Amino acid sequence: MDHQAETKGIFDTAGCLSRQGIMMLCEGKLEISQQESVQQHLAACEFCSIAVEGWKLLLEKQDVASLESLTFSLHTSIDEKVRTETKRRHRRKLWLRGSLIAAAASISLLVSFYFILRNDNRLVQEDLAMDKTVGAGYTEMNRPPLAPMEQASKVQFTAPQVVGDSVVESNSLNQEELAVTINNSTEENLSVEAKVEEKVIEEEDKSPPFTVVEEMPSYPGGEEVRLKFLQENIQYPQTAKESGIQGTVYVSFVIDTKGKISEVKVLRGIGGGCDQEAIRVIKLMPSWLAGKQAGKPVRVQFTMPIKFTLN
């Protein structure tokens, strides 16, 4: 409990150094026991070490007040950009959904009107045939009786089949076969809608990636597993060894909605083959856990430092 009380405020809930802890370390305001805990953490966490180095570099050029002001304005700008992008995507999604519903309703109305017109045409032909029969000498008394309702429901008729731009008469269908045809047509309409939705998803995947989201991407298994992967797979380039080159390579890449890595590039390198080796190892990584914005997976641009040190 005493150790937790001493380090309270220095570390955040994730176990890394908080901004207050980094500032206190750089300004020399930590107690001896606190400094020991911080140094142990910096030896195990590469991200916190880089953050402390960057803060020290900034302190050499600016005072703390202006640095805090710059940090606050940067976070404010990022939050505003995230809110604007979220609203734009939400409006686009509503518009696409409304378009799909309207298209489905239009197709259903066209199919209904078609069968109504077909039924009216059949009734007109029956009336014309009956008028011809009466004109040939039949009276109302010797007119053939009408078929029962059950038999009338089984009357066969010819449904047209559309081929290209022309209409071809198909074989006779009863009402049971016609129901199957209507069901198949409905399934085809649903299939068309599903294809349209898949196309919309693909277009969203090509949108510009986020830089900051509510839930950032994470390596499967955590940071320790990621560092172990880098240690086991990085091969120090021979050219860099012979030239004594060492330092940190900063690599940028995009993690898509399925966690796959793409668009790998070096932001700042050190040469000697280290840049190419960093890119190679990044591409070897397995799929990450995708970042999320408003509870949905999104594409996120991620930057990773890879340190090359000669023993």
Choose one of 61, 83, 104: the last residue of a domain: 61
Residue 238 located in a structural domain:
yes
pLDDT digits (tens, 9 = 90+) for 163-200: 444 334 444 445 454 444 445 555 555 554 545 444 44
Amino acid 2: pLDDT: 55
Using an 8 Å Cβ cutoff, are 300 and 216 in contact?
yes
Q: What's the DSSP call for residue 308?
A: E
| pLDDT higher than 80, residue 301 | yes
Residue 85 located in a structural domain:
no
- Strand-pairing partners, residue 75, are none
| pLDDT higher than 70, residue 52 | yes
Same domain for 102 and 194: yes
The mean predicted confidence, pLDDT, of the chain is 75
Residue 81 located in a structural domain:
no
Same domain for 100 and 187: yes
Written as one letter, the residue type at 78 is I
Structure-model confidence comparison of residues 291 and 10, the more confident one: 291
Using an 8 Å Cβ cutoff, are 272 and 239 in contact?
yes
Amino acid 55: pLDDT: 81
| pLDDT higher than 80, residue 293 | yes
Same domain for 172 and 249: no
Of 200, 193, 197, 209, give the one whose Cα is nearest residue 297. 209
* CA gap 260, 289 in Å, rounded: 9
Same domain for 227 and 201: no
- State the CATH number of the domain containing residue 299: 3.30.1150.10
* CA gap 282, 234 in Å, rounded: 10
pTM metric for this prediction: 0.37
Cβ count near 155 (within 10 Å): 12
Same domain for 229 and 198: no
| Three-state DSSP state, 61 | helix
How many residues are listed for the chain in this entry? 311
Residue 25 located in a structural domain:
yes
Of 251, 253, 263, 250, give the one whose Cα is nearest residue 217. 253
Amino acid 187: pLDDT: 53
Q: Domain range spanning residue 54?
A: 2-61
pLDDT digits (tens, 9 = 90+) for 40-50: 888 888 878 88
Residue 111 located in a structural domain:
yes
Average pLDDT, stretch 226-240? 94
Residue 211 located in a structural domain:
no
Same domain for 199 and 99: yes
Q: What's the DSSP call for residue 164?
A: T
Long-range contacts of 153-158 (CB under 8 A, 24+ apart): 157/118, 157/122
Cα maximum dimension of the chain: 121
Amino acid 3: pLDDT: 55
Same domain for 107 and 34: no
Amino acid 77: pLDDT: 66
* CA gap 48, 5 in Å, rounded: 21
Same domain for 199 and 102: yes
pLDDT digits (tens, 9 = 90+) for 58-100: 777 655 566 566 566 656 766 777 788 888 888 888 888 888 8
Same domain for 120 and 21: no
pLDDT digits (tens, 9 = 90+) for 127-153: 666 655 545 444 444 445 554 444 434
Choose one of 61, 85, 107: the last residue of a domain: 61
Choose one of 45, 61, 77: the last residue of a domain: 61
Amino acid 65: pLDDT: 61
Same domain for 114 and 24: no
Residue 210 located in a structural domain:
no
pLDDT band at residue 265, thresholds of 50, 70 and 90? very high
Number of domains in the chain: 3
Same domain for 188 and 121: yes
Using an 8 Å Cβ cutoff, are 308 and 245 in contact?
yes
pLDDT digits (tens, 9 = 90+) for 17-32: 888 888 888 888 788 8
Residue 147 located in a structural domain:
no
pLDDT band at residue 210, thresholds of 50, 70 and 90? very high
* CA gap 258, 277 in Å, rounded: 25
* CA gap 248, 240 in Å, rounded: 13
Same domain for 241 and 165: no
